[in-house]
Amino acid sequence: MFLGPSFIQQHVGQLKDELRSLKYKGEFKTNNFWIYVTCHEKIYQQINNLNADGYPSIDNNTCIHYFLNGIDEPSLKTVVQIGESQTSFSTNFHA
């Protein structure tokens, strides 16, 4: 099924807004790191599914940027800072 370019751009914009709004603030009964990771993966997959309609896949550096920006847990501050200091990542984020 082909979706129009304006619909795709709007949909991707909404998905990226969702990525920016995801936050990990520690382990809680209804929210934990696994849920945070799973939510990211689902949104990345939705964006990648739009390849058939002409939208490029989201690159690993962008995935990691969104992922690290959402971590707001004091005990992970150093890890996030190290990750943010990298200019590129050689691993496959989707693996």
Q: What is the band of 88 on the pLDDT scale with cuts at 50, 70, 90? A: low
Task: Write out 58-86 in H/E/C secondary structure.
Answer: CCHHHHHHHHHHCECCHHHHHHHHHHHHC
Percent of the chain past pLDDT 70, that is, above it, reads 87
- Note the pLDDT tens digit of each residue in 52-74: 777 787 888 888 889 999 999 98
Q: What is the band of 40 on the pLDDT scale with cuts at 50, 70, 90? A: very high
23: left (phi over 0), alpha (psi -120 to 50) or beta: beta
The predicted model gives 32-40 an average pLDDT of 94
Percent of the chain past pLDDT 90, that is, above it, reads 37
- CA contacts within 13 A on the Cβ side of 86: 14
